[in-house]
Amino acid sequence: MEHHRTSGEEAKEAEETSLRALARLRPGAPVDLAAIPSDATPGFAGAKAAGRAETAAMGAELAALQERLYAAATGGDRRRLLLVLQGMDTSGKGGTVKHVAGQVNPSGCRIQAFKAPTEEERAQHFLWRVTRALPKAGEIGVFDRSHYEDVLVVRVHGLVPEPVWTRRYDEINAWERALADDGVTFVKVFLHIGHEEQRERLLARLDKPHKHWKFDAGDIEERRRWPEYQRAYAAALERCSTDAAPWYVVPADRKWYRNWAVSRLLLEHLRALDPPYPTGDFDVAAIRARLRAEKAEAKVAKAKPQAQL
């Protein structure tokens, strides 16, 4: 007998085959980054050309969904999305920002890169500067680095005493939880790049004088601390992947896959939000009639002799 699937069953199946389900780190599950290949392409069976084509094909729907999110906010919908990008140097955070921003209307985006904190920022709680940079209702926010630096670089370099950074995991979870309750959809992406791939990308930067501005002698020192960073990342991913704000791991050795995966994750989250266009609070028929009448009135006015004016 033929079985007609209900929309609930279809939604369940879509969720199970989604990249969201595939790339998400389960809350509390141990994270072993060495066991996750950085050159894999989970969820995508094809090669580069097909990946690029599929990414391009997602653009129109992404843009349409972003417009709906923005429109919904004008009707009082408080929801907004925050893409958090973390990853080692050269993992492609900047490239991802460029790619994502290029797919949607930049007016609806709020993009913020986080560098070493300024003196003013250091005087505040570590969540102060990220709170200020949050997207407003209807916006898509993108963080290039984030509050996670405060348990990554800060932990690796011991920039604050251990008891201080240790309690930050719980502080982050509570902060994200409160925001999620207030309508923020978190899409936290760890761009997972391999040690050898980073070496090649750093060498490529050196080969191109027009890329030297991106090069920081300190990057080499940071590279030496790779194992410590991997441990710090594993701890952050493990302790801060929550139901309210899960982490997604995106293998990032292949740029085309990274772009596909981040676009795909955004698309799946925006589809799930399904923002409604607000209904206008005006009388469409009456206004239409008035605009139509303008032309008729103009004709009458033109027909009248000057003397009468």
Residues that bind Mg ion (CB under 5 A): 89
What is the Cα–Cα distance from 128 to 172, expressed in whole angstroms?
12
Nearer to ligand AMP, 71 or 160 (CB): 160
Nearer to ligand AMP, 80 or 129 (CB): 129
Partner whose binding site includes residue 299, from Mg ion, ligand AMP, none (CB under 5 to 8 Å by kind): none
Nearer to ligand AMP, 81 or 154 (CB): 154
Rule CB under 6 A: say whether 116 interacts with ligand AMP.
Answer: yes
* 152 touches 162 (CB < 8 A): no
Rule CB under 6 A: say whether 95 interacts with ligand AMP.
Answer: no
Nearer to ligand AMP, 226 or 277 (CB): 226
Residue choice 20, 68, 80, 145 for contact with ligand AMP (CB under 6 A): 145
Sequence-ordered list of residues with C-beta below 8 angstroms from that of 62, at least 6 positions apart, any chain? 103, 104, 263, 266, 267, 270
Rule CB under 6 A: say whether 149 interacts with ligand AMP.
Answer: yes
DSSP state string for 33-72: GGGS-TT--TT--S-HHHHHHHHHHHHHHHHHHHHHHHHH
Rule CB under 6 A: say whether 155 interacts with ligand AMP.
Answer: no
What is the Cα–Cα distance from 272 to 269, expressed in whole angstroms?
5
Q: Considering the complex, what minimum distance in angstroms separates the CB of residue 16 from ligand AMP? A: 36
Sequence-ordered list of residues with C-beta below 8 angstroms from that of 82, at least 6 positions apart, any chain? 134, 135, 140, 141, 142, 143, 179, 184, 185, 186, 187
Residues of this chain that bind ligand AMP (CB under 6 A) = 89, 114-117, 145, 149-150, 153-154, 159
